[in-house]
Structure 1
Amino acid sequence: MTVQNEVHTGEPAKVFTGIRDVPIYAGESSTGNRLPGGPYRAPELIAIGMIVLPALWWFRTHEGTGFGVLGGAVVAAVLVTVILRMVLPKRRPSLSARVSFALTTILPKHACAARPRTKER
Structure 2
Amino acid sequence: MSNNDVSTGEPAKVFTGIRDVPIYAGESSAGNRLPGGPYRSAELIAIGLIMGPALWWFRTHEGGGFTVLAGAAAAAVVVTIILRMVLPTRRPSLLARASFAVSSIFPTHACAARPHARSSHGAQR
**TM-score of Structure 1 vs Structure 2, range by shorter chain:** 0.5 to 0.7
CA RMSD of aligned residues (A): 3.4
**Other structure's SS at 2:34 match:** coil
Amino acid at match of 2:47: I
Residue 98 of structure 1 is matched in structure 2 by 97
**Other structure's SS at 2:30 match:** coil
Return the offset for 1:75: 0.0
Q: Distance in 2 between matches of 1:106 and 1:84?
A: 31
Residue 61 of structure 2 is matched in structure 1 by 62
Give TM-score scaled by structure 2 length. Answer: 0.66
Task: Identify the match of residue 29 of structure 2 among 28, 31, 51.
Answer: 31
Amino acid at match of 1:17: T
Gaps of 5+ in 1: 6-14, 19-24
Return the offset for 1:104: 1.9
| 1:84 maps to 2:83 | yes
Query: In the comparison of the two structures, how many residue pairs are matched?
Result: 103
| 1:41 maps to 2:40 | yes
Amino acid at match of 1:42: S
Q: Distance in 2 between matches of 1:59 and 1:35?
A: 21
Q: Distance in 2 between matches of 1:72 and 1:111?
A: 51
Give TM-score scaled by structure 1 length. Answer: 0.68
**Other structure's SS at 1:40 match:** coil
**Other structure's SS at 2:91 match:** coil
Residue 109 of structure 2 is matched in structure 1 by 110
Which structure has the bigger radius of gyration?
Answer: 2
Return the offset for 1:111: 4.2
**Other structure's SS at 2:100 match:** helix
Q: Distance in 2 between matches of 1:107 and 1:70?
A: 53
